[in-house]
Amino acid sequence: MKDLLRAADLSGDDVTLLLRLAADFQNAPESAHDLLAHRTVPMYFAKPSTRTRLSTAAAVARLGGTPVAVGPDELQLRRGETIGDTARVMGAYAAAIVIRTFADADVADLAAAAPIPVVNALTDGHHPLQAVADLLTVQEHFGHLHGRRVAYLGDGGNVARSLMEAAALAGMDVAVATPPGYAPAGGAAAFAAAEAGRRGGAVTLTADPVEAVKGASVVYTDVWLSMGDPDAERERRVAALEPYRVDEELMAHARDDAVFMHCLPAHRGQEVTAGVIDGPRSLAFRQAANRLPATQAVLYALLTRRLEGRR
């Protein structure tokens, strides 16, 4: 397995391996400090980033490499150079490429042409690095994943899709509550249902947030609005998603020991109340910290050809 473009690229054994590696890197951050010695990793960001940019740069540095952050205005893509040509050139200089952009097709084209590993650091369709950090956080807190129920509420976008895929591969139960028209697309639900079923788990798609959180160990949400959404779209989304806000009343329907998770940035008063995200049940900032060892694990596993992928 050369690249990580979506969580569904992984096998169940791959997920287990990545979580073990990430836990090892938590305990010994510099244990593979010479893997990328004298090598670079370009990080292409077409979208703004806080956690992904900083955690990836730190992960590369901990592996002994030099991260090089570039944006659309710093390459020749806007002057007509193809993604394939860019990938081949980067492959001559670097050990791996990390890309955060819009279209999944662009990442797939980059990976197809690049002779080195390509990691999807977020697209409109998927966010696999976040999913690895999410599972690491749940495992760290509860001790195991298999049989745990994770409930996701809100917009079934990239974070929801990757969470569904990764959680199913880990044998978790997954419940996703979205308004009509906001359900996860791109085959994520079908993939998750099949994989969860093989491992004794289940996938529930519902429009009822209370139904989703019943029995849940983890209640998860994401932002409702994206930068650049027109005003009319913003108003429509807020109206549709408001019943899915995670507040103390909704958390009371989950297990007594349930935790709250959010990939950040958060908008208090929209998708979550301040009392929940800043309260004692919130793991949101532990999730953010875990982006570093999770990314370190992904890069290490790809560079050492440890992942088997879905054969």
From 6, 53, 127, 148, active-site residue: 127
**Catalytic residue from among 3, 6, 148, 263:** 263
Q: Catalytic residue at 127?
A: yes
State how far the Cα of 242 lies from the Cα of 250, in Å rounded to an integer.
13
Strands of the sheet with 218-221, listed across from one edge:
203-206, 173-177, 149-153, 218-221, 259-262
User: Which of 100, 148, 245, 262 is the catalytic position?
Assistant: 100
Residues in contact with 205: Cβ distance below 8 Å, sequence separation at least 6, in sequence order: 175, 176, 178, 183, 184, 189
Token pair recorded at residue 255 = 């297990």
CB 44 within 8 A of CB 98: yes
Q: Does the active-site annotation cover 148?
A: no
14: annotated active-site residue? no
Q: Which of 14, 51, 130, 173 is catalytic?
A: 130
Can 139 be counted among the known catalytic residues? Answer: no
Q: Which of 222, 237, 245, 287 is catalytic?
A: 222
Active site (catalytic) residues: 100, 127, 130, 222, 263, 291
